[in-house]
Every structure is written in structure tokens, then in C-alpha cells.
Amino acid sequence: MISADAALADAHRHEWGPVLAATVRVTRDLDLAEECVQEAYAQALVAWRAEGVPARPGAWLTTAARRRATDRLRHADVAARALPLLVTDEAVDATPGDTGDTDLLALVFTCCHPALAEPARVALTLRLLGGLTTAEIAKAFLVGEATMAARITRAKKKIATARVPYRVPGPAELPERLDAVLTVVHLVLTTGHTAPDGEALVRRDLVDRALDLARLLRARFPADPAVAGLLALVLLTDARREARTGPDGGLVLLADQDRSRWDGSLIAEGTLLAREAMARSRPDTVSRYALLAAIAAVHAEAPSAAATDWAEIVGLYDVLLVRWPSPVVALNRAVAVGFADGPAAGLDALEPLTAEPRLASYHYLAAARAKFLRLLGRDDEAAIAASEALLLAGNAVERAFLAQRGGS
């Protein structure tokens, strides 16, 4: 039988967002809802240790948090009641048996409202839906804890003072609003997939949050190809998780990974979704997520690194650059060119990017140059590029790999 402590930890990972979303519906105040949920979890630890873990931990926590919210509101003073509150629409999308997911989606769209700057959207999503502490979020995004706390506080205040509706957007607003949500989920995925700092290569908590949110969006918007593409990308990316590090915790490059350790069920599901996302899209409207998922599917379906269809990957990156111009996309395309057409072609494709300011501190550019230079026998230049990559890398696992391999 699972212990109370283990059950509570599991409930924190999987139930925090839904419990908070249901509580916000009562409080219409994000800070108060957070406090009530935190108190409910503290109450659960005592009660579950004494009485055992309930059959439905999420329902237990939701009831406890909402009761605390009701009590707090009943005793709120006049000044507190005069503060700006979230605007709710009780009629929005509420169908019998669907209230929990509707509340959770309302919280997602509130956290990712266009009135907030993108960094604030990410931070608020992780805080409110993921239950991460301010310190954890600050570490993930390489800012001080005080800076992150201020960012989250400002975002909450802006939501209240701007009267941001706590609801799932209607059809007229949905395309723009949904894209903002997908962008946040993608950022959470990329940050978790390779942590920008710290001792671990992967922030599993962030990747798991991205997967949970992508599945939630897929359930609500099953016909949207961008949503299908994003879920496919999360699945195909996460499928390689166990093979990305060796027994000693060291980094293993994609070409050297033991593909038998890849998760076949995630690959099958992700590949099917990637094909669906591409099939449902016109060439001029295909989403960046569908294209990124298609690239990941090419890697996933190759029986070996040598059998990878790099020409197809270059072609997909060509389309992606048109749909989503980005220095990072250009860098990834250049690396693919190097594998498709040889290191000299790859180095030529990388050369214009060395003048791109947004890649000045991006260690993958220097590491890619080091690799191609070494393959061409230009060892002195390769050593310089390798040293630059090592200097710029923030993740301890990547730094160890670069130090061992000389940046290649």
C-alpha cells in the first residue's frame, strides 16, 4: 500500500493544477487560491497519515481547498473584497462532467494571456499549473529567485487589474490565444529536455508538465493540427529520455544512443500524431510544431544513425525556416546539411550564423563548428571552437561531455 507521503508527492505532481483551477473558480483570486491549495496539501499530510490515503486523492484535495476558500471569503474584510478579481463566465464551455477540465483549461489560457509578456506566461504556468516553487522556476530559467518572484507577482496583478477573463476563449479569440499557449508548452518542453543550468541533463518535472498540458489540449482540441503536432513533438522528444545518458550519467549523442532504450510506445503514438498533423495542414499553414514533430519522427523511424534520411530532414528545415524564421532553426538546418552533404557543406552553412547576435552565447553553434572542423582535419581551429563551446555551456552534463570530447 502506498504511503501517505508518497501519495501526497504523486498528488502534487499530477493534481496540483486541477485542484488549483477548481479553487480559483471559487476565489477568483490567484494568490488566495494558491494559499488555500497549499493549506489543503498540508492538511492532507496529517489526515492521510492518520486515516489512510483516500480512494480519490484529487477529489479530497479539491474539496478541502474549496472549503478553505469558502471560509476565507466568508471572513474577508471589506477592503479585501474591494480588490480586483478575475472575471469569470459561468456559462463558458461548462458541460456536465466536464467542469474539471474546463477549469483547468481556463487556468491555462489565463496564465498564457497575450496581455502578459512571454517570460511571465511561462513562469506563471509553471507556478500555478505545475506547482513548482519560485526557486525551481528561477533556476530553470537562469534568473535570481527575487527576480522570478517579482515577475510572478506582477503577472498575477496584471491579470486581476486588466480584468483578464478566467475562461476558455471563444472561437473568435481562439487561434491567437491557442498559439500563445502552445508556445509556452513548447518552451517548457525545451527547457526541461536540456536544462540550461544545473547538474542534471533533463528536468523531468518540466518535461512531464509539458506532456500533461499537451495531452490536455489534445483532448479539448482534437481536430487542431498544431495541437496534434505539439503533442507528437513532446512524445517523440521524451521517447529518447532514457538513452540520452549512460550508466555514469554522461551525455550520449543521438548518433551513439542505444535505440533499443527508446520508448517504442511513445514513438508509435508520436509518429501517428505527426503524420496526422502534416496531413491536416496545407503547405502554407503547417505549424512549426507539426514540422518539428515530422523531423523528430524521421529520427525515430530510422533503424540506425547511419540510416537517417538527412536529406528529408534538410527539406523539412527549409520549410520550417519559411514558416518560423529563427537563428536556432537555421543552426539546426546547417547541422543537418553537414550530415547530408558532408562537413564542408555543414561548415559553409554555419558560417553566416557566426555573425548572428542571438547565437553569440549559444554553445551549440561553437560545438557544431568544432565537430565539422575536426572532421575536416582542421584540428587547431576545432580546438578553439571546442574551447568556446565549453566556456558557454551551462549544464554540467554537457560541460563534462564537451571537456571529454573536445567540443565535438
Q: Which residues of 108-124 are buried (b: 16+ CB within 10 A; e: fewer)?
A: bbbbbbeebeeebbbbb
Asked if residue 127 belongs to a domain, the reply is no
Length of the chain: 408
289 grid coordinates: 510544431
Asked if residue 229 belongs to a domain, the reply is no
Asked if residue 397 belongs to a domain, the reply is no
Asked if residue 46 belongs to a domain, the reply is yes
Q: For residue 273, which of 226, 319, 321 has the smallest C-alpha distance?
A: 226
Q: Which residues contact 125 (CB under 8 A, 6 or more apart)?
A: 108, 111, 112, 184, 188, 213
Phi, psi values for residue 222, rounded to 5°: -70, -20
- Helix (H), strand (E) at residue 372: helix 363-375
Can you list the alpha helix ranges (DSSP code H) found in 141-246?
Answer: 145-161, 174-193, 204-220, 225-238
Quote the domain boundaries for residue 37.
4-76
Residue in the block written with cell 565535438? 408
Burial of 204 (0-12, 13-18, 19+ CB in 10 A): middle
Asked if residue 61 belongs to a domain, the reply is yes
| 3-class DSSP state of 245 | strand
Q: Which residues contact 50 (CB under 8 A, 6 or more apart)?
A: none
Beta carbons within 10 angstroms of residue 36's beta carbon: 26
Asked if residue 23 belongs to a domain, the reply is yes
Asked if residue 65 belongs to a domain, the reply is yes
Centroid of chain to Cα 21: 19
Q: Are 333 and 365 in contact (CB under 8 A)?
A: no
**Can you give the pLDDT of all 408 residues of the chain as single tens digits?**
689 999 999 999 889 999 999 999 888 889 999 999 999 999 999 999 999 999 999 999 999 999 999 999 887 654 455 445 565 554 444 433 445 678 888 898 999 988 899 889 989 988 998 888 888 888 777 688 999 999 999 999 898 888 888 888 888 888 888 998 999 999 889 988 988 777 889 888 889 889 989 999 999 999 999 999 999 999 999 999 999 999 988 999 999 999 999 999 999 999 999 999 999 988 888 999 999 999 999 999 999 999 999 999 999 999 999 999 999 999 999 999 999 999 999 999 999 999 999 899 899 999 999 999 999 999 999 999 999 999 999 889 999 999 887 544
> CATH code at 36?
1.10.1740
Q: How many domains, the chain?
A: 1
Report the C-alpha gap between 61 and 18 in whole angstroms.
Answer: 10
Asked if residue 240 belongs to a domain, the reply is no
Report the C-alpha gap between 72 and 77 in whole angstroms.
Answer: 10
Report the C-alpha gap between 234 and 215 in whole angstroms.
Answer: 10
C-alpha R_g of the chain:
23
Q: For residue 194, which of 399, 408, 407 has the smallest C-alpha distance?
A: 399
